[in-house]
Chains A and B, each alone.
Chain A
């Protein structure tokens, strides 16, 4: 078992500072921050063991919302209950909140500048490339499974979203309901056999 630290003011400050710095210096999305979190909290501090951390990461990935926020919530709750969850969440969301507040002010001030416009002109094409490359990688992992259902669902969702401009929330709710029904059906089948 991992040794849970003593829950005092010093611990709360350390928890806040740890999640704050992890969030501040981590570029490149949820998976990067989660692996750094594991290094710090499992290897360096010994607050939780590796197995628990892996469980938290799995739950964080399969739940709604940003993975980094979900993972720090789980770890904070595990260590120090609801106050721990709130402190680690605050530590995780404060850096982007502070930075983007200033960026938002700055963007409004410089958006009409010729050179800023020129830079965004180039970057917009790059961002489209990054997003479509991510799509391509995700699509390949869908197609890899040699299962026709995900591809049919992909095609149906794409037609609904792109051709018929159906609201994405509507499509998501429909797919969530469908998955729940299929899951219950499958679990029943497993229990019967």
Chain B
């Protein structure tokens, strides 16, 4: 199939099925770009999530642009982002017309409630694969990465110390550079 058409369809599906905002799109992006089409290696996907955390904008738009550019240049960027927002445009315009009608909203609320456990399970699965990439397997454990992971998790989960994801990532980057400089 034509590459641009494939990019369009992949990001259309990501837009259509990412219900629940934010991280909900991440497992879908992983499935389309890494597993199905192999446009990114798992490592590049992990870097993309990192980059998306540090730049403004929704992760899906960030990914559509990043992957579109890598696979097919500027036309790839346009096709992938267009595909990604098209479901939103269609659905929002329908909703804007129906917005007074109560029943559609109730149905959407039920669907949202119903898929939320799946969304959480999908983000969990994607998180586990990111962890696996970062720290390696049990037999070849990257102890530095494991220590960074544990520290970052505790900081992210702490209610007393609130550090933004960007701050945590900067510490991670400095840690990685320091570890390299020490010659490990």
Identify the A interface with B (CB < 8 A). 23-31, 55, 58-70, 73-74, 77-78, 82, 85-86, 89, 93, 95-97, 99-101, 103-105, 107-108, 111, 114-115, 117-139, 142, 150-151, 153-155, 157-158, 161-162, 167-169, 171-173, 175-176, 178-180, 182-184, 186-187
Residues of B near A122 (CB, < 8 A) are 145, 148, 171-177, 179
Q: Is the CB of B173 within 8 A of A65?
A: no
Known: A117-B180, A124-B46, A171-B122. 16 other contacts (CB 8 A): A28-B164, A28-B165, A65-B85, A66-B18, A77-B92, A85-B92, A125-B134, A127-B49, A131-B26, A132-B124, A142-B117, A158-B121, A169-B13, A169-B31, A183-B110, A187-B106
The chain A residue sitting closest to B47, CB to CB, is: A120
* Inter-chain CB contacts under 8 Å: number: 344
Question: Contacts A153-B117, A153-B118; is A128 near B149 (CB within 8 Å)?
Answer: yes
Distance of A85 Cα from B23 Cα, bound (Å): 24
Residues of B near A104 (CB, < 8 A) are 65-66, 69-70
Q: Is the CB of A179 within 8 A of B77?
A: no
Q: Is the CB of B88 within 8 A of A63?
A: yes
Distance of A142 Cα from B114 Cα, bound (Å): 11
Per DSSP, are chain A's interface residues mostly helix, strand or loop, or mixed?
A: helix
Residues of A near B58 (CB, < 8 A) are 29-30, 66-69, 96
Q: Is the CB of A131 within 8 A of B95?
A: no
> Please, how many residues of chain B have a CB less than 8 angstroms from a CB on the other chain?
104
The chain A residue sitting closest to B149, CB to CB, is: A125
Identify the B interface with A (CB < 8 A). 13, 15-23, 25-28, 31, 46-47, 49-51, 53-62, 65-66, 69-70, 74, 77, 81, 84-85, 87-89, 91-93, 95-96, 99, 103, 105-128, 130-131, 133-135, 144-146, 148-153, 156-157, 164-166, 168-169, 171-177, 179-181
Q: Is the CB of B124 within 8 A of A139?
A: yes
- Picked from A101, A150, A167, A179, the residue with its CB within 8 Å of the CB of B69 is A101
Residues of B near A59 (CB, < 8 A) are 92, 95, 99, 105, 108
8 smallest CB-CB distances across A and B, nearest first, come from A122-B176, A96-B57, A179-B114, A66-B58, A65-B88, A183-B110, A126-B172, A118-B180
Q: Is the CB of A157 within 8 A of B176?
A: no
Residues of B near A169 (CB, < 8 A) are 13, 17, 28, 31
Q: Is the CB of A55 within 8 A of B99?
A: yes
Q: Is the CB of B149 within 8 A of A126?
A: yes
Separation in Å of the A70 CB from the closest CB of chain B? 5
Residues of B near A154 (CB, < 8 A) are 117-118, 120-121
Q: Is the CB of B122 within 8 A of A161?
A: yes
Distance of A101 Cα from B70 Cα, bound (Å): 9
Q: Is the CB of A127 within 8 A of B164?
A: no
